[in-house]
Structure 1
C-alpha cells in the first residue's frame, strides 16, 4: 500500500474500501437551473467591493445567464482566483434575490472533479492525489483478490465511483442504504475475521493424550451436565492433536466450569496440568475441590504468594495464583487460566511461555464466566476455539428487583428477615471514598449506618490488602458484607442469599450478572436488588426479567458495543462503523462461511 495512504491510516485494500465518502457532489454540467447544488462554467465579468461583502458578476455559459457570486468572507485567494476574464468551474446552490440569480459563498471546483458525481473524503491527502491513488488501488480485480465475492465488490465500487441511481438513493435515504450498507457490513466482518485468522499461530503441542473420560465420570459423586460433557469432549479432541489447542471455555455463573478443569487435569494425568486463578481464595477453593474430586494418585500442589518454595516437578496438577509467574515451572502438557479476563494478555502469555520449550507449546485453555453473544463468538472463533456451558447443574431461584429511595424501609425489613434465618447479605457500593462527582454514598460513608443498626458487618474493597482474610472471616461469622465489585469474582459464600447493588445503572449488564451470580450458589432462594435513582431505567428493567447469562450478553450488546473477548476488555466506543453485531448475525455467518471454505 502507498506510503501516503499508510500515513493516513489506510493499510490495505479492504480498509481503503471501508474508507467511505463523507458526502457526494454532483459536478455534472447541466444546461438548466434546478435550484439544487450544481456546477456552472462561469466567466468572471467584473468585481464589486461592497460594505460587508464582495460581489463578482459572471456569465454562466451552461445556462446562458448572468449570475452574481456573493462572498461574505474573502481573502487574497479570491483576488487571484476570481480575475476578470477568467473562466472557472463554480459549484453551489443558486437562488433568486433582488431580481438576480445569486450563488452565496460558492466553491471553485477543480477540473478533475468536473463532469461526474464526485465523492468527498475527509482525508489529509490532497484531493487529486487521493483520487489518483484510489483509482490505482481500488479496482474490481484488487477487491476480488482479497477474497470478497463479486457482488460485494461491485457494490463497494459503486460507493466510491457513484452513478445516478446510487447518488439519488444516497440523497433520499440520507446515507448508505440497502445492498450498499449490507456490502459495507459484510466487508467489515470479513476484514476483521480475516485479520484474526492471520494472527492465529499453530504450534506443535508438547504432548498428545489419547484420553478416556469414563473413569473420571465414574468416580464423581454427581452426574455432570450435558454441556460439561460436551466441553470435556472438545478438550479431549484437542488433547489428541499434535497442534497445541487454544480454546476458550465460556460458562455462565455457577455452570460448573471447575469440573471441566478437573476433567482436563484427569485426562492429562502424569503429563501435568497447570491452572492459574486470579485470587488466593479462588485458587485455594479450586485446590480443595480438586483434592475432593480427583483420585489420590494425582499429586496436587497449591502455589500462592504465601507458599513455601517446593520442587514442582513432584506434582501432576499445579494450582496457583499469579505467584506461578515467579516460580520455576516444570514442563506441562496443559496450561489453564481461570477467569481469564482478570489477567492481562502479558500475564497469560508469560505463564504459557514459562512451560514452552523448543519441542512445542502446551495446550492452552482459558475459562471465562462472562457469557458472550453468539455473533461475537462466531467472529472471534477465527482466532480461538470456543466451548459453551449454558446448562446449570440446578436451576437458581433468584428474584431481581429495581428499587429506589422509597423502597429502603422495605429493603431493611427484608435484610433483617434473611439474617434471622442465618443467611448472609452483600451490599455493593460503586466507590470506596466520598466523591462530589457521584450522587451515591460511598462504601466508607455507608459503613457507619450499617454498623450502627446491625451486628456482624464487614467491609472490604479492591485496594484492601487484608480483603482475602476479611472475606474468609465473613464467610464463617458475618451477616452483612459491604464491598465494591471486588466481590464479583472470589470466595464461595454458601449462605449468601441477598445482594444489593448501589448505583446499578452505572454498571455494565455483564458485571451486574456476575454480581448477581454470587447469591443462591447452594440452591437457597436468592434476591438481587438494583438500587438506583432512575427506577424506570429501561436497561435495568429488562435485566431484572432475564436470568440466563447468554441472553444478557445479547442484551448488553444491544445497549453497548462489546470488546475483545480474548482480553476481556469492554469498550463503549464502536469496533465497527456499520456492522451491528446485535442485528447482523446472518451477514457475519455468510462472511465466516466464505473464510472457512
Structure 2
C-alpha cells in the first residue's frame, strides 16, 4: 500500500486493511468552519469576533462578543467552565469562535463557544478508535484519488467517496445522501469485500486433469436429466479437464436431483478415485444405495462408524460420513462434500489432505440443498465457482396454509385421513422441554396428546443419540413423527404427505422451505401447515405463495436482512453497512464484471 509506518499503525488500530475500507468510515457529522455573513438560527456556526466583556457567574462564564461577520453583539455562555476555558477569552482579543447560535426577541446567544484555528473549510468529524482530529489528519494524508484508484476503484466512484469526506460547498446531510453517493458507497463496500474473497482463493495443480464421458450413461437412466442438471455436469466436466484443481459449489433446491450430479461426477472421474462425505449415516446410506443402483459397474464402498476396516484401495468410489476423517484413505482425485454447511472448514480441509499427495490437490465439489439468493451466489463466485440448480425433475404438489387455534379440529381430521390412507405426518415443535418464555407447547408437553389419540407415534430431536434409528424405524412403520427442526436436511421419507410446523413465525423462511421439502418426495399430494398464534404475518403469507427455494432465499433476505458469506451463515444482521443483498443485484453484477476485467 506504500504507507508510512505511522499510517500503518493507525490502519491497524482502526482494523482496516485498505484505502477503500478507510473511505467507508463515513463522517458522523460535519463542522462548517467557513465565515458566513448571514446568521442562521439554531445552527452551529463560526463567528469572527472581538471579546467585549467577560462576566463570571457561580456556575457559568458569560462573554459578550462583537461578531464582525454579522455586525452585532452575541452573548457567549459557558456552563461549568473548566479552568483552561477561562484563558481563551481575553477582553479586546479578536478570534474565531464556533458554537450553537440561538436568537430570541432580537437577543442572540452562542452556547459553549470554542476557539478554532482551521478556518475556511467544511470539516468532517469521525467516531472511531482514533481521536477525531487525528482521524481527520489521517484522512487528509491517506484518502487521495490516486490511492483509491491504485486499489482498483473506478475514478468516478473514488471522486464520489472523496466528496463525502471533503465536501466543497455544501455540508452533506448524512441522513439523506444523494442516490449516486449511496451507490458509490455500496459499490465500494462490495468491491472491497469481493476483492478480499478472490484474494482468499488459492490455485493448486490438480492431481489429474482428465475426464471420462457421461452421456452414454445418461442415456441408460430411467429418466431424463433436467436441463440444469446437464448444465452443472458440463461445468464440472470442463473443471475436470483443467490443470488447476476445481473449487465448485453446486446449490440445488430440495429435490432438484443433486444426487445425479454427484454420481455423474464420480463417473467422469474414472479411472481415478472419488470420495464423498455426507453429514449423517442416513444420508451416506441413501447416497450409497442410489450409487449402487445407477452406477452398477463401479466398485463402491460405504464407510461409517459401524463399518469394519476394509481395504479401500480396491474401490473407485468411497462414500462415507465424517468417519472417513479417522481412516487411512487412498489417494483420490475428486473430493465431494454433501450438505457442506454441516461441516466445518477444518473437516473439509482435513478430508482433502487425507487423499492428496505432495503439492497437488484433488478437485473439490461441495453440494448444498440450502438455496442462496442470486446476489449471494454472484458474490461467492469471487472465491469459488458456483452452479445453481433451480428447477426440480418433477413438479411437487404441496398446498401450504397458515393455520391458527380455531383450525385445530380440521387439522386433526386431516391427519386422521392421511394416516388411514397409509401416509405419514411430521409435527415440528419449537422446543424439546417446556419453556416459560414461549407460548407454544414443547415436544414433552405435546407428545401425550398425540400418543393417546394415535398409535405408532415416534419422537426425536437434536440431542437424541438414537435420532437416526428413530427415523429409520419411523420410515418403516410410523404414522406420526414428532421432532424439532433436526429433520430439515436430507432424509428421504417417501410416504410423508403432511408437515405441521408449530410456531412457524419463529423460523427463517429457508428453514421452513427445507421442512416443507420433506413432504411429497415421490409425487404424493403434500400439505404444509404453518401453525401460529400471530393474527397475521405477511412473511408467512408470502411463503405459502412461493415454491422456489431461490425466491424464498430472496424473501428471507428482504425480511431478515442478509448474513455473513465469509462465515457461511445467513444470520439476521448483515456484515454490510450499505449493501442490501435483496435489492442491489445490479450493483453486485457491476462489481463482479469489473473484478473480472482486472484478472
Into which bin does the TM-score normalised by the smaller protein fall?
Answer: over 0.9
Q: State the Cα deviation string for residues 371-420 of structure 1 (Å, max 9, x = none).
A: 11111111110100011111211100001111111111111111111111
Deviation at 1:270, TM superposition (A): 3.1
- Report the Cα distance in structure 1 between the residues aligned to 2:115 and 2:22, rounded to whole angstroms: 24
Give yes or no for contact 1:402–1:535 (8 Å, CA) kept in 2: no
Give yes or no for contact 2:277–2:337 (8 Å, CA) kept in 1: yes
Report the counterpart of residue 220 of structure 2 in structure 1.
219
Report the counterpart of residue 329 of structure 1 in structure 2.
329
Answer yes or no: is 1:144 the counterpart of 2:149. yes
Give yes or no for contact 2:233–2:265 (8 Å, CA) kept in 1: yes
Q: State the Cα deviation string for residues 298-318 of structure 1 (Å, max 9, x = none).
A: 111111111111221111111
Counterpart secondary structure, 2:103: strand
- Report the Cα distance in structure 1 between the residues aligned to 2:126 and 2:574, rounded to whole angstroms: 20
Report the counterpart of residue 295 of structure 2 in structure 1.
294
Deviation at 1:80, TM superposition (A): 3.7
Counterpart secondary structure, 1:179: helix
Deviation at 1:565, TM superposition (A): 4.8
User: What is the TM-score of this pair, normalised by structure 1?
Assistant: 0.95
- Report the Cα distance in structure 2 between the residues aligned to 1:556 and 1:109, rounded to whole angstroms: 52
- Report the Cα distance in structure 1 between the residues aligned to 2:36 and 2:450, rounded to whole angstroms: 79
Report the counterpart of residue 178 of structure 1 in structure 2.
179
Deviation at 1:191, TM superposition (A): 1.0
* Superposed counterparts of 1:499-514, under 5 Å: 499-514=499-514
Report the counterpart of residue 15 of structure 1 in structure 2.
21
- Report the Cα distance in structure 2 between the residues aligned to 1:542 and 1:402, rounded to whole angstroms: 10
Q: 1:110 to 1:295 in 2, by over 3 A?
A: farther
Counterpart secondary structure, 2:130: coil
Q: State the Cα deviation string for residues 222-253 of structure 1 (Å, max 9, x = none).
A: 21111111111111111111100000000000
Report the counterpart of residue 548 of structure 2 in structure 1.
548
Report the counterpart of residue 355 of structure 2 in structure 1.
355
- Report the Cα distance in structure 1 between the residues aligned to 2:535 and 2:452, rounded to whole angstroms: 28
Give yes or no for contact 2:96–2:116 (8 Å, CA) kept in 1: yes
Counterpart secondary structure, 2:36: coil
Compute the RMSD of aligned alpha carbons.
1.7
Answer yes or no: is 1:94 the counterpart of 2:108. no
User: What is the TM-score of this pair, normalised by structure 2?
Assistant: 0.95
* Superposed counterparts of 1:71-110, under 5 Å: 71-97=78-104, 100-106=107-113, 108=114, 110=116
Answer yes or no: is 1:121 the counterpart of 2:126. yes
Answer yes or no: is 1:29 the counterpart of 2:35. yes
Give yes or no for contact 1:140–1:153 (8 Å, CA) kept in 2: yes
Report the counterpart of residue 494 of structure 1 in structure 2.
494
Give yes or no for contact 1:275–1:337 (8 Å, CA) kept in 2: yes
* Superposed counterparts of 1:336-485, under 5 Å: 336-485=336-485
Q: State the Cα deviation string for residues 94-123 of structure 1 (Å, max 9, x = none).
A: 2223652111234x25312x2111111112
Q: 1:511 to 1:77 in 2, by over 3 A?
A: farther
Deviation at 1:559, TM superposition (A): 1.2
Answer yes or no: is 1:311 the counterpart of 2:292. no
Counterpart secondary structure, 2:270: helix
Q: 1:408 to 1:118 in 2, by over 3 A?
A: same
Give yes or no for contact 1:341–1:566 (8 Å, CA) kept in 2: no
- Report the Cα distance in structure 2 between the residues aligned to 1:99 and 1:26, rounded to whole angstroms: 24
Report the counterpart of residue 64 of structure 2 in structure 1.
57
Q: State the Cα deviation string for residues 317-364 of structure 1 (Å, max 9, x = none).
A: 111111111111111010000011111111111111211221400000
- Report the Cα distance in structure 2 between the residues aligned to 1:584 and 1:548, rounded to whole angstroms: 20
Deviation at 1:86, TM superposition (A): 4.6
Give yes or no for contact 1:93–1:103 (8 Å, CA) kept in 2: yes
